[in-house]
Amino acid sequence: PVVLGVESSCDETGFGIVSEGVLLGQGLASSAAQHADFGGVVPEIAARAHLDAAVPTLRLALADAGVELGDITHVAATSGPGLATAVHVGLAAAKSVAWSLDVPLYGVHHLAGHAAADTLEHGPLPERSIVLIVSGGHTSILAVGDLVRDPIEHLGDTLDDAAGEAFDKVSRLLGLGYPGGPAISRAAAGGDPTAFSFPRAMLRQGDAPYTFSFSGLKTAVARTVETIERAGEAVPVADVAASFEQAVVDVLVTKAVRAVRDRGLDTLVIVGGVAANARLREAARQRCESLGITLRIPPIRLCTDNGAMIAAIGDLLVRSGAEPSGLGIPADPSAVLHGAQLPLLR
Ligand code: ATP
Ligand code: MG
Ligand code: FE
């Protein structure tokens, strides 16, 4: 199979082409700059940008992969979760391609795509592993087996903000703009991560072991900035950003590693946009190395939204013999991923 993956759930328009677990090529466009003035993604602007970018980005992916459109044997597209207007555009584009080529269409779960991204770099997942998904909309610890066949077990989630959302909100209040993750990281370089001791929520014994909460951290950063400003002093942005990053990273790594050990497993996979964070990557590497845990994190370009990851989960579905979704598949903006639900949406 030569599988085309289409991603449009947020502000990235992505097309990727995967065959038998191998990434042949991809194209990626982002409307992030158009949302910068608003401090977050504006759904209507994102949808229009997907429409503008769809055909040129598909062309880029085909050229990058060195394949013709007619070589595509299957199409997979994010059908949820995501911004409804945005998902619709990519899904419609995917339907058009599938219909015109008369090839099967698979609607796939965006988060299963994030997890599958890692297989493009590190090969098939082991029989069982812990997956930490840290993205703009999700912060979840999952116990997974075969991504296509086995039920995904949800161990914990965030009670309020997602990790990426916390980066975006703190970036906004520090005046660093959108998207917040890269902006905070740049600002934090050279900062002292111990300058401020921001709260690490729910880390104590007796707290829900795999549950996150980031809204208190965001509030603590806001209070700190207010207090400094009220005193008429300059906000030490680098120190605040580094201390905030460190607080997020401590909680994420502690809870994810705890899940691996509690389950007696030996592999931790970290995926999603926040997995691009250098401080998180380094902290997880050190912690896993000292405990003998195998750590898998995709390269940065496969952490944030992209079409390759959707092609990757599509390729796994095709090779496992899954029934296609069909051209009538609706967008499912609030699709869930747990229990017996498979990555394939219908
Ligand atoms: P979801 O996958 O939950 O639907 P999404 O698709 O919007 O949400 P992703 O594209 O996976 O999310 O990730 C985007 C998020 O990752 C943003 O919140 C962004 O700030 C964050 N992010 C990107 N790069 C970094 C980084 N270097 N450090 C920290 N966070 C980052
Ligand atoms: Mg994005
Ligand atoms: Fe995402």
What value of ipTM does the predicted structure carry? 0.98
- Cβ atoms of 288 and 270 within 8 Å: the answer is no
- Per-residue pLDDT reduced to its tens digit, 82-140: 999 999 999 999 999 999 999 999 999 999 999 999 999 999 999 999 999 999 999 99
pTM (predicted TM-score): 0.96
Point out the ligand nearest to the CA of residue 29. 2
Give strand pairing partners of 320: none
Write out the binding residues for substrate: 133-137, 168, 181, 277
Task: Quote the pLDDT of residue 112.
Answer: 95
| Cα of 262 from ligand 2 centre, angstroms | 33
Which residue of 10, 11, 332 sits with most ligand 1 atoms within 8 Å of its CB, as the best mutation to test the pocket? 10
Q: How remote is the CA of residue 204 from the centroid of ligand 2, in Å?
A: 32
**Chain segment 159-177, per-residue pLDDT in tens:** 999 999 999 999 999 999 8
Q: Which of 304, 309, 313, 332 to mutate to test the pocket of ligand 1 (most atoms within 8 A of CB)?
A: 304
Helix (H, G, I), strand (E, B) or coil at 202: coil
pLDDT for 36? 86
pLDDT tens digits, 178-237: 899 999 999 999 999 999 999 999 988 788 999 999 999 999 999 999 999 999 999 999
The 10s digit of each residue's pLDDT in 258-267 is 999 999 999 9
Model confidence at 341, pLDDT cuts 50, 70, 90, reads low
Whether 339 shows a pLDDT value over 80: the answer reads no
Beta strands at 22-30 and 267-271: parallel, antiparallel or unpaired: unpaired
Q: Looking at the CA of 274, name the nearest ligand.
A: 1
Confidence of residue 271 (pLDDT cuts 50, 70, 90): very high
Binding site membership: which residues? 110, 114, 133-137, 168, 181, 277, 305
**pLDDT, tens only, 4-59:** 999 999 999 999 999 999 999 999 999 999 998 887 899 999 999 999 999 999 99
Residue 340 has pLDDT above 60, yes or no: no
Burial of 1 (0-12, 13-18, 19+ CB in 10 A): middle
Q: Ligand 1, atom 20: nearest CA belongs to which residue?
A: 181
Q: Whose CA is nearest to atom 24 of ligand 1?
A: 181
The side-by-side arrangement of strands in the sheet containing 129-134 is 153-156, 139-144, 129-134, 267-271, 294-296
Q: Is the pLDDT of residue 345 over 90?
A: no
Place of tokens 């991809």: 26
pLDDT at 346: 73
Looking at residue 124, its pLDDT comes to 96
Q: Which residues line ligand 1 (CB under 6 A)?
A: 9-10, 81-82, 110, 114, 135-138, 164-165, 167-168, 179-182, 185, 272-274, 276-277, 304-305
